[in-house]
Homo-oligomer: A and B are copies of this chain.
Amino acid sequence: MTDLATPYYLIDESRLKHNLEIIQQVRERSGAKSVLALKCFSTWSVFDLMRQYMDGTTSSSLYEARLGYETFGGETHAYSVGFSRDEVLAVREFADKLIFNSLSQLRRFHPDVAGLNLGLRVNPGISYSNFDLADPARRYSRLGVSDTAALAEVAPWLKGLMFHFNCENPDVDNIRASLETLGREYGELLHRMEWVSLGGGLSFTQDGYALDAFCEALRAFSRTFDIQVYLEPGEAAVTQSTELVTTVLDVVHNEVDIAIIDASLEAHMLDHLIYRTHPRLASPPPGEHRMMVAGRTCLAGDVFGDFKLAAPLQVGDEVRIADAGGYTMVKVNWFNGVAMPAIVVRRLDGTLERVRSFGYDDFKRSLS
Write the residues of chain A forming the contact surface with B, with a CB cutoff of 8 angstroms: 38-39, 42-45, 59-64, 66-67, 79-84, 101-102, 104-105, 108, 123, 132-136, 138-143, 146, 164, 247, 249-252, 254-256, 258, 260-262, 266-267, 270, 273-274, 292, 294-303, 306, 315, 329-339, 343, 355-356, 360, 362-368
Tell whether A142 pairs with B260 under 8 Å between CB atoms, given A39-B298, A133-B301. yes
Tell whether A133 pairs with B299 under 8 Å between CB atoms, given A83-B249, A339-B61. yes
Residues of B within 8 A of A266 (CB): 274, 331
Among B38, B133, B141, B256, which residue has its beta carbon within 8 angstroms of that of A254?
A: B141
A146 to B135, CA, bound (A): 42
Chain B: minimal CB distance from A250 (Å): 5
Residues of B within 8 A of A367 (CB): 42-44, 67, 329-330, 343, 356
Residues of B within 8 A of A258 (CB): 140, 142
A82, A249, A266 pick with most chain B CB within 10 angstroms:
A82
**Do residues A140 and B338 form an inter-chain contact, with CB atoms below 8 A?**
no
**Do residues A262 and B82 form an inter-chain contact, with CB atoms below 8 A?**
yes
Chain B: minimal CB distance from A115 (Å): 22
**Do residues B337 and A299 form an inter-chain contact, with CB atoms below 8 A?**
no
**Do residues B332 and A81 form an inter-chain contact, with CB atoms below 8 A?**
no
Q: How many copies does the complex hold?
A: 2
**Do residues B298 and A363 form an inter-chain contact, with CB atoms below 8 A?**
no
**Do residues B255 and A140 form an inter-chain contact, with CB atoms below 8 A?**
yes
**Do residues A67 and B337 form an inter-chain contact, with CB atoms below 8 A?**
yes
A134 to B44, CA, bound (A): 35
Residues of B within 8 A of A136 (CB): 300
**Do residues B355 and A300 form an inter-chain contact, with CB atoms below 8 A?**
no
Among B45, B60, B336, B366, which residue has its beta carbon within 8 angstroms of that of A298?
A: B60
**Do residues B297 and A138 form an inter-chain contact, with CB atoms below 8 A?**
no
A123 to B261, CA, bound (A): 20
**Do residues B330 and A334 form an inter-chain contact, with CB atoms below 8 A?**
yes
**Do residues A104 and B252 form an inter-chain contact, with CB atoms below 8 A?**
yes
Chain B: minimal CB distance from A105 (Å): 5
**Do residues B250 and A105 form an inter-chain contact, with CB atoms below 8 A?**
yes
A266 to B332, CA, bound (A): 12
Residues of B within 8 A of A42 (CB): 337, 367
